[in-house]
Amino acid sequence: MYNKENIFYRILKSEIPAKIIYENDVALSFYDIRPLKKIHVLVITKGLYSNFGDFVANASIQEVKDFWATVSKVADLLEVSRTGYRIVSNNGPDSGQEVEHFHVHILGGEKL
């Protein structure tokens, strides 16, 4: 069950600012406010999914494909696809998921 009381929903609605890198019909990408690596970027769905399982179960095949293609495109824009990067998605309490809106972290810009 998706709960609109989360910070990424407010970023999607432009209620709070974010340093946006790229946007299309299915996804929005912006810099993480507390970077853990030289490059730390988030890609969030425009659809309202609380986590990875919710996304895979309820998004259309086209949306799933377009979302992951967007993650790859953002890695290209950041030029980490040349140097290497890690993608991470935290899901549920044991992972430490802080924001209950499905998102992927792109980490890179240095040796991980």
Does 90 interact with ligand 5GP (rule: CB under 6 A)?
Answer: yes
Per CB under 6 A, 93 contacts ligand 5GP: no
103 noted as active-site residue: yes
Report, in Å, the least distance between residue 7 CB and ligand 5GP: 5
Smallest gap from Cβ 35 to ligand 5GP, in A, equals 8
d(CA 23, CA 38): 21
String of DSSP letters for 19-79: -EEEE-SSEEEEE-SS-SSSEEEEEEESS--SSHHHHHHHS-HHHHHHHHHHHHHHHHHTT
- Minimum CB separation of residue 18 from ligand 5GP in Å reads 5
Chain residues in the site for ligand 5GP (CB under 6 A): 7, 18, 30-34, 90, 96-99
